[in-house]
Structure 1
Amino acid sequence: MSGPHGDQPLITAGAPFEVAEAALILVHGRGARAQNFVQIADEFHQHGVAYLAPQAARDTWYPDAFTAPIESNEPERSSGLQAIDNAVREATDAGILSDRVMILGFSQGACLASEYVAHTPRRYGGLAVLSGGLMDESVDLADYDGDLERTPVFFGCSDDDPYIPERRVHKSSAIFEQLNGDVTKRLYEGLGHGINQDERESVSEMVANLLK
């Protein structure tokens, strides 16, 4: 893997690949660490799930706001997408089917996770976008096509998040509906920039469904 994040580790935990039935890929936010985000997965723990968390260089996936022009976040954005793709391939190369691979991101990680799935649409085990949305100065339904084959997609965000405009959450969720995702969108009053209990419970249910 090349690019700004190319020499960063992929943290793994949970079930060993040789016995794992599903995988959860965790994409951390700005200023966070993959190892710490893996610890959050303890709340969603299910026997048989492998956890994979790519690490961003200097703990930051891209330098500018996610609503800035794509060019201002390159080459970091593309390198981050490659880091997610490497984690997905790590799981599928181990024999885990893509429809049992779920991607969870928070903040910068949520934006990057939504970018990855929207631009590589197929049936995944799920996508959870916590306080994030699709990247670029503007997003247009006409720029996205493909079939997610009813992949479960969860958007959770505050109505007053200082970093994530509410309108971008609405537009992003609409694009995932167009891509044939099974979309759930929840806006929480006065949450700010964080993860609440309802989001944790929703993600936990999605992870449990990977094993059904």
Structure 2
Amino acid sequence: MYIHENNILTAGIPLNEAKSAVIFLHGRGSSAEDIISLSRHLDIKYAAIFAPQAINNSWYPFSFIAPVEQNQPALDSALTVLKTLVDQIVASGIPLDRIFFCGFSQGACLTLEYVTRNAGRYGGVAAFTGGLIGREINMKNYKGDFAKTPVLITTGDPDPHVPVRRVELTETIMKKLNADVTTKIYAGRVHTISPKEIELAKSLIFKNI
């Protein structure tokens, strides 16, 4: 159960013609089709676009702040799907600094976990309502140098799934790895992606693609 396959929806420019790539990660109960439609709202027109599909529409079975062991082997499987996809994109000729990430909720958590475990100079990261994964944060998992990769993390206050304190801790850890992090916390915002967040992501993360 929860062993993910490389089931990836694509859109945008063909990979062999593109100069940039964007990886979208859907939330729990959602789908690749749903999250990839976000590319239109973000005005992403000139990139190869990828949206992996989680088995059973969920990347891992329990809350992202449950003990990591409870979310295995699903979590490691999901991280492997991402690593394989990134490697394929790089092998096609697109460098890390032209690879962008965008996730919502569970997909935002997985996005942040992957890039922070593999810190490098990416094009940019937009994490709508997410934070690093685990009841306790194991700093040994996180290494590398973001080299000022722009990162946007947003959430509501309160949010039913993502505590603000975890968002703030995630920001601190990513900044220690040299990420250029912008965090926006919206009082009373429900568990969704608001138009303000879309506009902020367009201006901070996706303005050059």
| Identity within the alignment, % | 38
Aligned length: 207
Post-superposition shift, 1:141? 5.5
- The reply on whether 1:207 has 2:206 as its aligned counterpart is yes
Unaligned ranges ≥5, structure 2: none
1:83 is aligned to 81
2:4 is aligned to 5
Unaligned ranges ≥5, structure 1: none
Question: Aligned pair in 2 of structure 1 residues 48, 143: CA closer, same or farther (>3 Å)?
Answer: closer
- The reply on whether 1:39 has 2:37 as its aligned counterpart is yes
Letter in 1 for 2:4: H
1:64 is aligned to 62
Describe the SS at the equivalent of 1:102.
strand
**Separation (CA, whole Å) in 2 of partners of 1:172 and 1:194:** 20
- Does the CA contact (< 8 Å) of 1:24 and 1:207 recur in 2? no
Determine which of 108, 111, 124 is the counterpart of 2:122: 124
Post-superposition shift, 1:142? 6.9
Deviation per residue, 1:20-51 (Å, 9 max, x gap): 11111000000001012111111123332111
Q: TM-score, normalised by structure 2?
A: 0.94
Determine which of 88, 91, 108 is the counterpart of 1:93: 91
Describe the SS at the equivalent of 1:148.
coil
**Separation (CA, whole Å) in 2 of partners of 1:24 and 1:139:** 27
Q: TM-score, normalised by structure 1?
A: 0.93
Describe the SS at the equivalent of 2:37.
helix
Deviation per residue, 1:80-117 (Å, 9 max, x gap): 11111122123212211110101111111011110001
Letter in 2 for 1:4: I
Describe the SS at the equivalent of 2:29.
coil
- Does the CA contact (< 8 Å) of 1:53 and 1:87 recur in 2? no
Describe the SS at the equivalent of 1:78.
helix
Post-superposition shift, 1:143? 5.8
Determine which of 107, 112, 115 is the counterpart of 2:113: 115
| Divergent runs of 4+, >3 A | 140-145
- The reply on whether 1:159 has 2:157 as its aligned counterpart is yes
Determine which of 128, 131, 135 is the counterpart of 1:137: 135
